[in-house]
Amino acid sequence: MTYIEAVVLYCLKEIKGERTIFSIFHLLKGKRSSQTIQDAHLYSLTSLFYSYPPIDRDSFTKVVRGLYKKKLIAESEAEKYILTEEGDQQLTIFFKEKPFPEWLNGWLYGSTVEVLWKRLSLLVQVLSHYIRASQRYYPVQRERDVQTWIKSFLNEPPVPLKQLNNLLFTDIVSLARQESFPDDPDILICRLTGGEFIGLTRGQAADRLGMGEDEYWYRFLNVLHYTAGEVTSEKTKYPVLYALIKDLVPEITLTQSSEETYKLLKRGMDIKRISELRRLKESTIEDHVVEIALNDKVFSIERFVPEADIEHILHIARKVKMRKLKPIKDALPQLSYFQIRLTLARYGDQI
């Protein structure tokens, strides 16, 4: 079994046949639709959100077909699959032998770690040439935004440039020596370019470390997510690494449109008024409210769903042992789908 096959199996196990197989595709790609965002939270799969953006639909379909041919999954409904007993056993065995990417937090750090890696790899290259008084080299990162950021950072560094290289080295070594560091540091280090050393590509790194490219991808990503979490929680311990990421991690992760809706909610407006003001459908504003409830744990949903109705929804959800909306709606016809979705968004992990 390949690593991406194991990841897809893991996702299928969590959604229990309640969503189509392509809900997983959208999750791995990081599609920021209300349905994908809600599914990620509802089925405790936020860690894997935006965790495999390179995959395309054809490649994903081949993965699913492969799992089906190996009899690791069975089709329960059209485009919906559940694990077979063999699939469940193979998944358990796989992640006993291979490390599960337990530090992933794709919903929080998805695109953040991409930028972190680009800044870090370019900074290492620039500083390595600076201390050698070498000005001729081809930048490993070509994006103008990344280059502009590094130039700005070096114009006002946290310490004198001559000390910055050593301080960055100390940060990286200190990070890699943490007992909680999730993997072989070479997974990250071998990709860095500096001086006479040319960093490896993803494929070259996978070959060097003796693993498939998909496994390398997840283990590399896991290290980056660990780095993001450790550095943001220990700011003073890793001053240079923190400087590379501090403007990238929002307190609450919302789509831009949902942020605008949230501002209006805080001003006391109801859904109908916000819909009129923003010239959007009420259902779209409802999607925003669900997204806000998923991401801001201090956001109160009682203004939309009375406390007694919340208890009724959770009671029925536990009774039917699923997070599908229709069985709950059938049992509680007086409530709207929005109220049910909102309640599951906030309390779905208690079912």
> Average pLDDT, whole number, for the chain?
93
Rounded Cα gap, residues 157 and 349, in angstroms: 44
The residue among 88 and 323 whose pLDDT is bigger is: 88
The domains spanning 3-97 and 256-350 adopt the same CATH topology: yes
Does an H or E element contain 278, and which? helix 271-278
pLDDT of 171 higher than 80: yes
Mean pLDDT across the stretch 14-18?
Answer: 93
pLDDT of 132 higher than 90: no
Residue 10 tokens, joined: 């893991």
The residue among 345 and 61 whose pLDDT is bigger is: 61
pLDDT of 312 higher than 90: yes
Percent with pLDDT over 90 in the chain: 80
Mean pLDDT across the stretch 92-112?
Answer: 92
pLDDT computed for residue 271 by the predictor:
95
Name the burial class of residue 300, with classes exposed (0-12), middle (13-18) and buried (19+) by CB atoms within 10 angstroms of its CB: exposed
The SS3 assignment for 339 reads helix
pLDDT computed for residue 64 by the predictor:
97
Residue 158 tokens, joined: 């946290």
Q: Per-residue pLDDT tens for 42-61?
A: 898 999 999 999 999 999 99
Q: Per-residue pLDDT tens for 315-339?
A: 998 888 777 888 999 999 999 999 9
Domain at 256-350: CATH code: 1.10.10
The residue extents of the domains of the chain are 3-97, 106-245, 256-350
Residue 203 tokens, joined: 């494929």
pLDDT of 205 higher than 80: yes
Q: Per-residue pLDDT tens for 206-237?
A: 999 999 999 999 999 999 999 999 999 999 99
Residues facing residue 82 across a β-bridge: 74
Q: Please report the DSSP string for 181-250 in residue order.
A: --S-THHHHTT--BTTBPPPPHHHHHHHHTS-HHHHHHHHHHHHHHHHHHHHHSTTTSHHHHHHHTTT--
Residue 298 banded pLDDT, cuts 50, 70, 90:
confident
Q: What CATH topology corresponds to 3-97?
A: Arc Repressor Mutant, subunit A (1.10.10)
Residue 134 banded pLDDT, cuts 50, 70, 90:
confident
How far is CA 105 from each of CA 14, 206, 216, 298, 307, rounded to the nearest angstrom? 16, 22, 17, 20, 31
Residue 100: half-sphere exposure toward Cβ, Cα within 13 Å: 16
pLDDT of 12 higher than 90: yes
